[in-house]
Structure 1
C-alpha cells in the first residue's frame, strides 16, 4: 500500500519548551507509531496507509532530536523519562483519552516499553518491532555475543568523534544501516534514502540522535528501582530474525513477572527493519492484534 502524503497533516505540539513534529492521518481509535534509530516518521510509510484504511487515526512523530522536531542540547534531555513524557504529551494533544496501541521499532521500542510502564492508563495495547524488553537488553549487554553486536553503543559514548565519523562520506554508515541491512530488494529506494539524508542533515540532529545512546548509559529511574515495573497490557512482539544488531536470544518473551501477556511472532526472512522487509505481513499482524 502506497503512502499518499496529501492525506497527511503535519502538526506540532510542545512540551516543556520542546517542539515536537508529527504527521497525522485517518479517523478512529488512535495508534501512535514511534520510529527507530536513525530514522524519522517516514519509516512508517507502509504502515500508515494500512492503518488509516482499516479505520484508525495515526500519529507518527519525529521523536525529539530527529528531523523536524526540536533538538534540545545536553545528554539529559534524552533520558527515558523525557522521551516517554513526550509520548504522553502527543496522546494528550490528540484529544484522545488513550491510544488503542503504541507501536515502537528499535529505539521507538526502547521508548514504548518504559512508556507502558510509566503510563499504563494511556494505552490499551503495545506492539514492539525488534526491540527487547529493557531488562533483557541490560542482561544481554553482559554477554560477549551481544557486546560484539552492540560495540557502536559504547563507541557513541565518546564525545564528538562519533559525529565526525558518521558524517563522513555523506553519512555512509547511516545509509548502509537503513538500506544495505534490509533483506528485500528495493525495500529502501533512492527516493526514500533522500528523505533520511535530509533528516540527518538538520542542524543538531546527529548529536541529538547519538545522545539517545549516551543517555541510556547514565543512571535512570528504572535501573535505580531494581526490577522494572510490570507491563500488564497485551503486547505483540514482531521480530525479524536476520537482525545484525540484536542477538536472537533477545526475541524471547520477557519474564512473565515483568510482562505476563506477550505474544512473539518471528519472521525468518526479515532483517532488523522488519517493517521494511515484510510490510504486508507486519501490517496484517498489527491489524489482527488491534481487532
Structure 2
C-alpha cells in the first residue's frame, strides 16, 4: 500500500505549511475546504501516487498543523493564492533539482485541485497565475466571476442574517460554538451536508447556532467512520476554528482586492465535479450558471454530476472522483 508521509514546507509566501504527500511525478496540489484538512484527500493521495503523480495535500492557512496569523486581514484570497503559488514554487524547485533533465518551466508547474473553499483558491490560482497551472479541477464549488457589488450585503439581502456566511462575520461566535464539542461538530457537519443527510439550507435560526441545522446521525454513513471524525478532531487540537472562519470574514475584502481581475477568464484546462445533492448547487439558477461556466472557463473539458452525492465529494465518492481526476490529468 502506498504510504502517505508528512512534513513541513516553507512556502515562498512566508508561511510554514504542513503537507501530506505520496508518490513521485508531476505535482498535483490538493486544496481542502471547510471544516477540513489534508485528511479530506486521504483517498486521492494514494490513488494519484499509484497513477504516477506526486500528490501533495497541505493544511491551508489557519488550519490544523499549519496554523496561521491571528490578524483577520491575513486570510484574504490573495494570501491563500500566494500560499498555493508558494508551494508550487517550493516543491517545483525541489523537483527540478532532482530531475535535472526536465525543463525548469515544467517542473515548476502543477495541477491544482480544490474542494469547497479550496475550489475558489484553485480557480483563482489558475486565473491569476496560469503560467504555473497545467490544469485545474474543482469539486463542489463552480467558478464564480467577480460580482458587481460586495458579497456580504448581497447575501444578507437575499438570504437574511441567518445565512451561514453572514453568520460567520460575527467575531468569536462561530468558533466558540464549534470548539465546544469538536467531535459532535465534525460528526454533525459532515453528515448533514452529505448525500445521506437532510440537505437542509444552511440558515442559522434566530438565536441559535449553525449546528442547529446539522442533526446527529443515527448511524455513520458508509463513507464516514468514528475514526475519521476522531482524526479531524486530533488535527484541529492545536489551532481550532478561528483561522478557518477568518476566510469567510474576508469575503468583502476579497471583492475589493480582486478588482484588477474583474471577469478575467480562467484559461488553463479545467474539470468540474459536483454531487447532485450538494447544497452548494441547490439554489435557484445555479445549474443554469454551471451550464454557462465555460463563458469564463473557456477550456472547461467536462462537468461531471454524481447522482446521490452531497457536499463532501471526494470523501463520499472516492472511486468515481479518482477515476475522473486521473483521466483528466493524464489527458494533459
Taking structure 2 as the reference length, the TM-score comes to 0.78
Q: Using the alignment, how far apart are the partners of 2:128 and 2:266 within structure 1?
A: 9
Q: Which runs of 5+ in 2 are unaligned?
A: 96-106, 197-220
Structure 2 match to 1:65:
62
Q: Using the alignment, how far apart are the partners of 2:145 and 2:161 within structure 1?
A: 17
Q: CA deviation at 1:148?
A: 7.2
Structure 2 match to 1:123:
133
2:195, 2:278 within 8 Å by CA — same for their partners in 1?
Answer: no
Q: Using the alignment, how far apart are the partners of 1:52 and 1:158 within structure 2?
A: 41
Q: Using the alignment, how far apart are the partners of 2:45 and 2:157 within structure 1?
A: 35
1:222, 1:228 within 8 Å by CA — same for their partners in 2?
Answer: no
Q: Which runs of 5+ in 1 are unaligned?
A: none
1:18, 1:70 within 8 Å by CA — same for their partners in 2?
Answer: no
2:186, 2:229 within 8 Å by CA — same for their partners in 1?
Answer: no
Q: Using the alignment, how far apart are the partners of 2:183 and 2:167 within structure 1?
A: 16
Q: CA deviation at 1:216?
A: 1.6
1:232, 1:260 within 8 Å by CA — same for their partners in 2?
Answer: yes
Give the secondary structure class of the aligned counterpart of 2:272.
strand
Q: Using the alignment, how far apart are the partners of 1:62 and 1:7 within structure 2?
A: 14
Q: CA deviation at 1:261?
A: 1.6
Map 1:1-291 onto structure 2 (within 5 A). 4=2, 6-95=3-92, 96=95, 97-135=107-145, 142=154, 147=159, 151-170=163-182, 172-183=184-195, 185-203=221-239, 205-221=240-256, 223-225=258-260, 227-247=262-282, 249-251=285-287, 252-262=290-300, 263-291=302-330
Q: Using the alignment, how far apart are the partners of 1:189 and 1:148 within structure 2?
A: 34
Give the secondary structure class of the aligned counterpart of 2:25.
coil
Taking structure 1 as the reference length, the TM-score comes to 0.88
Distance 1:102 1:16, change over 3 A: closer
Q: Using the alignment, how far apart are the partners of 1:122 and 1:173 within structure 2?
A: 36
Per-residue CA deviation, residues 105-158 of structure 1 (Å, 9 max, x unaligned), is 000001101111111011111000001213278899857998379811100101
User: Which of these two proteins has the greater Rg computed from alpha carbons?
Assistant: 2
Give the secondary structure class of the aligned counterpart of 1:238.
strand
The alignment yields a C-alpha RMSD, in angstroms, of 2.7
